Amino acid sequence: MEAASGMSSEGRPIQCKAAVCRRAGEPLVIENVMVAPPMSREARIRITCTSLCHSDITFWRMKDPPGICPRILGHEAVGVVESVGEEVREVEKGDVVVPVFLPECGECEDCRSTKSNLCSTVRFRVSPWMARHESTRFTDMKGNPIYHFLFVSSFSQYTVVDVANLAKIHPSLPPNRACLLSCGVSTGVGAAWVTAAVEAGSTVAIFGLGSIGLAVAEGARLCGAGRIIGVDLNPDKFEIGKKFGVTHFVNSGECGDKPVSQVIKEMTGGGADYCFECVGMASLVHEAYASCRKGWGKTIVVGVDKPGSKLSLSSAEVLHSGKVLTGSLFGGLKPKTHIPILAKRYLDKELQLDDFVTHEIDFEDINRAFDLLLEGQCLRCVIWMNK
Ligand code: NAD
Ligand code: ZN
Ligand code: ZN
């Protein structure tokens, strides 16, 4: 590793430990890997903390493309810049950075617009490669390539990330909180704050109370929402939800013959102002759309469903209801612009991050994080890479 030799590692490959997904759905294998130096517009980062998001589980399970093996998963993290490639001006060695799957070049028409966070220079896609160069920076000890995940691949002590995917943060933010801003909490808070622009006094319904759904609640609470209805199959999520501003709970497994949307319409006198799908199931998007109020109701799709899954709405339904249906990648946030704002709101004790961290483990126990998230008691499990 970098420090062991006492020499600078700049410009040379680094050997370190990574948790590699060798076969879909099987425990990750901790092995030595080589991490090549960054190419132009890239930085190599020493990961301090990473945490597990449900999207890692979705792609870990996936046998067919865009699932691919061997791959280094992980996309919610914080780290320190070890070295930078050519033409990198945004960050330098020693900077604390949050890598984000969604790029922000800052210069294209979309990055300059306040209406979008979908950069056109470096496009978001689920690719096995780096964001700008169609190649990998990881090889195993036999010299075979290992693929990237969501431009981050943080289940490795070192990784290489494009500068468009890096947000610099103040080093005073504790790493076991900062990593949450890299995906889950930012996504949820942003979905309420930016994508939906929830108004004070409005009624919000959230389908799925994992970290993403609860972060939507947190964002809606900060926007002054009047009622926040949480929908989940796991009744334990209601007590947990109260901490994040959830005021009412619907156990969707106990609604009998009534669709959840009918229950929500009855509770809200015609439908919620904003509905968020935070599970990743097309059928729940339909429920969320049906749960929001005609005329002005807005449904925000945040969950990631299986590749190829489709929605089906009748055109008359769309025409007559006047509702809005939209997707929200990374909560509509621009990583470089909005992550420092969320970090400040945490330091100012407005935004809560602490309660999202239910577990902290060492890197060698990384497979336990998968069990914990799947068991339903865990919100975020923070993994310390070098403790
Ligand atoms: P999680 O596993 O922590 O939480 C999911 C929750 O949904 C759990 O509480 C579970 O009990 C509940 N649930 C499952 N099936 C349900 C059903 N049929 N009805 C109601 N509730 C149900 O997951 P997470 O980390 O919070 O992620 C949630 C979703 O958000 C995933 O699909 C993930 O891929 C996606 N995501 C999207 C973005 C984005 O940018 N849009 C970013 C991060 C995560
Ligand atoms: Zn994520
Ligand atoms: Zn751009």
Residue 100, classified by CB atoms within 10 Å of its CB into exposed (0-12), middle (13-18) or buried (19+), is buried
When pLDDT is averaged across residues 112-125 and rounded to a whole number, the result is 97
Ligand 3 centroid vs 107 CA: distance in angstroms?
5
Please name the residue whose Cα sits nearest to atom 8 of ligand 1: 210
Are 105 and 337 spatial neighbours (Cβ–Cβ below 8 Å)?
no
- Whether the pLDDT of residue 117 is over 90: the answer is yes
Q: Which of the four pLDDT bands, split at 50, 70 and 90, describes residue 7? A: confident
- Whether the pLDDT of residue 123 is over 90: the answer is yes
The token pair at 33 is 């890997």
By DSSP bridging, strand 158-162 and strand 42-51 are antiparallel
Ligand 1 neighbourhood includes 260 CB (under 6 angstroms)? no
By DSSP bridging, strand 324-327 and strand 298-301 are parallel
Quickly count: other Cβ atoms within 10 Å of residue 228's Cβ.
27
When pLDDT is averaged across residues 111-118 and rounded to a whole number, the result is 97
Question: What region, left, alpha or beta, does residue 197 occupy, with left being phi > 0 and alpha being psi -120 to 50 degrees?
Answer: left
Are 163 and 43 spatial neighbours (Cβ–Cβ below 8 Å)?
yes
When pLDDT is averaged across residues 236-247 and rounded to a whole number, the result is 96
pLDDT in tens, 354-374: 999 999 999 999 999 999 999
- Whether the pLDDT of residue 223 is over 70: the answer is yes
Ligand having the closest approach to the CA of 381: 1
- What is the separation of C-alpha 133 from the centre of its chain, rounded to a whole number of angstroms? 23
- Whether the pLDDT of residue 222 is over 70: the answer is yes
Ligand having the closest approach to the CA of 380: 1
Please name the residue whose Cα sits nearest to atom 1 of ligand 1: 210
The token pair at 194 is 């930016």
* Atom number in ligand 1 closest to CA 302: 41
Q: Which range, of 3-7, 34-38, 241-245, averages the lowest pLDDT?
A: 3-7
pLDDT in tens, 169-221: 999 999 999 999 999 999 999 999 999 999 999 999 999 999 999 999 999 99
Are 381 and 369 spatial neighbours (Cβ–Cβ below 8 Å)?
yes
Ligand 1 neighbourhood includes 51 CB (under 6 angstroms)? no
Percentages (nearest 5) of helix, strand, coil residues in the chain: 30, 25, 45
pLDDT in tens, 287-307: 999 999 999 999 999 999 999
- Whether the pLDDT of residue 323 is over 50: the answer is yes
Tell me how far apart the alpha carbons of residues 288 and 293 are, in angstroms, rounded to a whole number: 10
Share of the chain above pLDDT 70, in %: 98
- Whether the pLDDT of residue 248 is over 70: the answer is yes
pLDDT at position 377, please?
Answer: 82
- Whether the pLDDT of residue 2 is over 50: the answer is no
When pLDDT is averaged across residues 95-122 and rounded to a whole number, the result is 98
- SS3 sequence of 68-136: CCCECCCCEEEEEEEEECCCCCCCCCCCEEEECCCCCCCCCHHHHCCCCCCCCCCCCCCCCCCCCCCCC
Ligand 1 neighbourhood includes 279 CB (under 6 angstroms)? yes
DSSP, collapsed to helix, strand or coil, labels residue 146 as strand
This prediction's pTM: 0.97
Which one, of 125, 129, 66, lies nearest residue 101 by Cα?
125
Please name the residue whose Cα sits nearest to atom 27 of ligand 1: 54
Are 159 and 97 spatial neighbours (Cβ–Cβ below 8 Å)?
no
Tell me how far apart the alpha carbons of residues 37 and 40 are, in angstroms, rounded to a whole number: 10
pLDDT at position 6, please?
Answer: 57
CB-based contacts of 69, cutoff 8 Å, min separation 6: 21, 22, 23, 24, 147
Are 99 and 161 spatial neighbours (Cβ–Cβ below 8 Å)?
yes
CB-based contacts of 65, cutoff 8 Å, min separation 6: none
CB-based contacts of 375, cutoff 8 Å, min separation 6: none
Are 35 and 11 spatial neighbours (Cβ–Cβ below 8 Å)?
no
Ligand 1 neighbourhood includes 328 CB (under 6 angstroms)? yes
pLDDT at position 252, please?
Answer: 95
- For the chain, what is the mean pLDDT? 96
